[in-house]
Structure 1
Amino acid sequence: MEDYIAVYQKGDVSQCKDKRGTTSTRKLDDSDIITHIQSFPAYQSHYTRKSNPNRKFLNPGLTIRKMYDLYKEKCLTEMTEPKKLKYYNKVFNTKFNLHFKAPHQDTCKTCDSLNFKIRGTDDENVKKEFEVQKELHQRKADSARENLQIDAKKINDAYVLTFDLQKALAFPKLTTSVAYYKRNLYLYNLGIHCFNNNTGYMNVWNEIEGGRGSQDIAVCLVKHLKTHAVTQNHVIMYSDSCTGQNRNIKTTLSLLKLVQDPDTSITTIDHKFLVSGHSYLPNDGEFGIIESASRRHEQIYSPDQWIEIMKTAKRKEPHFVVTEIKNSEFKSTAALEKCITNRKKTTCGYDFNWLNIRWLRFERNHPLQFQFKETLNADMPFYKVDLSKKQQGRPAYLYNIQQGPLYPSGRPVTIAKKKDMLDLLPYIPPIYHKFYKNLTVDIPTRSSILNADERSSDDEITYD
């Protein structure tokens, strides 16, 4: 007020602006906050890649408050003044597309889309059309689940199972705040639930042993069936509709080879697919038991500890049967693919799409042919696809084809990831150090750079 009077007395009224009640326009420097947020590893989710390709996800153990507390710790060590929580939150929300928990597919995208369209239109005829579409979609989903319940009772005549891949399980799991800034290694688990003995089988491997593609999944399925269903004639399998992992030519060839194997009694394999968004399987409940048990362990230093958690997670019998899959067991289907013609037409000339297939059948009597339906209706006929090459002579049986290793030199980690692992060694007991010190590093080459997109799609981590 004194400054105002002094200016007034000098006669320069243009300078006497009362700024009481106005907001300061001084812009705060947010570079330290941006740098701190960028220091946390972020991952993309395959559930949102198409709809929101720029969205990434942080470790689900983090929160804004936790990140801000870590930011204050950093400022304290650097002897700088931290910004307020409100400003940290503003920078996080306005300059980043980050979330803490990737969406699990608990809701159906088709149902959600149709519900949105139904609510968004005032035209009764259009609304009724959307409602009919939704009704048909849900009937298809209900029918698939009813088929699973019916087939689950056929245990006297067939070996019946469901399978699914659990979310990637991170290790090392540490309580130190430093770990939030570091990348993780991951353990993969293909769960197989057998209805014949009501047992869950966990097939596990870490990311330096194998990946999460269709060939990896097929290896686990074939190994399980050759171990537990070798005396069965008929196998019935259910899975979700993930085409990249379950519904493709690589998985098909692996099962065709198995059904021809003279060392087994299997003559028919039926692989059926639930409707996307409505594919809750017994495996999901078993995965929940494992994840619940892991919460009792604040620290997990190695894959062996995850395996032990799985073995003891279920307190009532039958306990989970855990099998560790080694790098040498993962086989490539490249040799099998060279022996066939990957046709896109059925024997009757129908152009088919893998995305529409709901039922695959493989039979010993048809060594280079698979059958499929676009429905689970038992009364509908199968389409047939002939994979044999048009050449003279007797076609080669797939079971005679030797498959080469899928990862001949193992699966190296990036230089940055190994550095992060070595940085965490002070917080890990020495008994586990050898595992991390012996990690093979991926030295970038021209071919690896060109194939980076293909590799990342298989290695992508999804938090659920």
Structure 2
Amino acid sequence: MSNSDEEINNTFVHNTKKRKKTGRLREVMKKLRVSTHEPGDDCRCKRLKCFDRISSEQSAKFLKDFNSMNYTDEQNIYLCGLMNVYSIKRRRSRKTEEMDANFHQTHFTYKVRVIENDETKEEPVCYKAFLSIFGIIKGKLEHLQKSLKMSGTAPSDKRGKSGSNKRLDNNIKDLICNHIKSFKGRQSHYSLNDTKKEYVPEDLNIKKMYKLYLDAYESQNHVCYETCRTIFNTEFNISFGYPRTDTCSACDEFKIKAKALRAEGNIVELIRFTILNNLHKKKAQTFYDRKKNARIKSKSDVEFQAIAMDYQKNVSLPNISTSDVYYKRQLSMYSFNIHALGDASSYFYTYPETCGCKGSDEVVSFLFQYLTNHLDSRVKHLEIFCDSAGGQNKNYTVIRFIHFVVHKMKLLDSIKITYPIREHSYLECDKNIGLINLKAHIEVP
């Protein structure tokens, strides 16, 4: 039997095996492989002349069909079907001493099924030919013989079915679940559909939660890390890190009022607030639908481009852990991001507060630099998606700049700017900004 990598069958049977590591038992998965068998040599049988009656093509077909079986149990049943067992009283021994004689209770014969002229007939083969045709070893055949003598059936693969693995106690499982629930998560208000997914702070992870569990319950109920990890992944729908830190005040107000109205039993008012909240979410979804359609169009139309733009959170410098820094005047760093929806390219404009503010003049300066230096010259129509910040994006300065680009400079044929409803302005810029580690050790700009 060969166990080389080229001969390993693609079908695997999974089994759980325990091993000791750092003084603790932990479960690991082991793949039990069904190996590919190779043909053996000629049996050189003078009595049955097996390989004279069975051609090499037929022998190769027997082995191919045998190797195509995916499970060990299937192979065992197939081989046992080609074996006949007979009960005999006793075999005569040539030894003089009766105590040294070997007594046999069973006798086995072997066969193969050959198809000739659309008819299946059984051809008897010897012991060595049976091993050679199916590429099995002597120990494998003795295992089959023993099973047929004891039970009359083919043996079953008992790997991974010993039942020795201890099951997790329900009380300990409930304790782990309650421990995970103690980390209060919150839902993302950007998901307009009903979802049960929760988010916990980004500084947490499964290992930290497991260590906290050990600190609280180590003396009474100890479990391994893999058990806690499995329960976390299968029983809960939790992610680490909030999608955004700000939430929609209108959505939060509806949740508070709806909870109070349900407690009072005021169904009429609850229905009215539900309709208003659904309308609020429909307006938010309209913004995302327009942005999605613009992204698809910009990928196929060379004369059309869509961009999203937004400011990053201010970074105060120096950004170090020394406590005295919080009581001193710090330098603010600003960063403005423009994200092209067509090719997902991103442009950052970073400057300290000594060079400028975060107003409309800076926004139009960055837009002008992007239009004249980075925008494809074939683009004739531009669509802009940004939030409704009055001092930055939604003001007369930006509108006059757009009018100047289209009618005075004649750089583009049209520019369309879309503002979402308040606090529902999740843009691709937020993903780009999230890649920057604002907690890093920063001393100078």
Q: Do both proteins adopt the same fold according to a TM-score greater than 0.5, normalized to the shorter chain?
A: no
Q: Which has the larger Rg? A: 2
Q: Could you say which structure has the higher strand fraction?
A: 2
- The higher relative CO (CA closer than 8 Å, separation ≥ 6) is in 1
